Amino acid sequence: MTQKSSLHYYEDGDILVTVQNVTFRLHKNILSIASKVFQDMFKCAIESKEDLPTISLSDTSSTIFENLLSYLYPHKFIPITWENIIEFCELADKYEIAMVLEAADNFLKTHFQEKPLISLVLADRYRFKYIYKEASKLILDNLLEYKKEPDYKIISSNTRCALVEKYLDFTLAISSFQELKHQYDYQHACEKEPHLYTVCLNKQKTTTLYEEFFSGIQLDPTRPPSTNLNNFLEYCKKFKKKNEQLNQCGIYFVQNYLIGRGRGFSRFSSMV
């Protein structure tokens, strides 16, 4: 025995949709505009005793479907919140309702910092590229703590592997950068292209700059990746500014050799 929906049973509706034990009398045009899946389903609708075509939806909660209709019908609008976003995304994906997925994406762009784990789960499932990247940054910054939370386990195995891999890349990048302190092998640019440089920076000066550069920056794998990266980039900026009065060979040495050698670490910026 079904009952009429108290919110979405319109006397001028031209389609009956039954979900669990609730019947909704709706408008084909509104549902068809929102979803091609509904549009195709209407072609298979059967006539009911009320002389209206009828379809039944399985594996769907009548309450969630009612909320979805309240979003689609302009005079019954219901906003997307943390309380309903998971269900909204599931139904929107199932019935290919692009406008709801877009609204969910926009909601997360404003609120993903509140719940980065759930945001990443949804971004992974529904291909929200911006949210996937930004939520990953937050999680990577405190991965060991986030791994203890229950929601971490519902992240897809591929994404969990990617997070761990990037975190290991970060720690290895720091280790590799620290090893550069003992790998001075610079050949002056003026030795390779003498026609470009009229004054050479002597060997003693480059050695001093090399030691100063690597002794001045401290990277700590126990700190968040973004903190280390920001410290590194800020340090490079200041070191470059401090030595901008060097001759051509010196500027080349600072920009392309010293800072250039740190690019292996700065490439981590694409991850965090």
Which tens digit of pLDDT belongs to each residue from 13-71?
Answer: 999 999 998 999 999 999 999 999 999 988 877 776 667 888 989 888 999 999 999 99
User: How do residues 83-100 score in pLDDT, each as one tens digit?
Assistant: 999 999 999 999 999 999
User: How do residues 222-237 score in pLDDT, each as one tens digit?
Assistant: 788 888 888 888 888 8
What is the enclosing helix (H) or strand (E) of 53? strand 53-57
Which pLDDT does position 198 carry in this prediction? Answer: 46
What are the boundaries of each domain within the chain?
3-158, 172-270
- Cα–Cα distance, 125 to 111 (Å, whole number): 18
* Superfamily (CATH) of domain 3-158: Potassium Channel Kv1.1; Chain A (3.30.710.10)
Which pLDDT does position 272 carry in this prediction? Answer: 44
Tell me the Cα Rg of the chain: 29
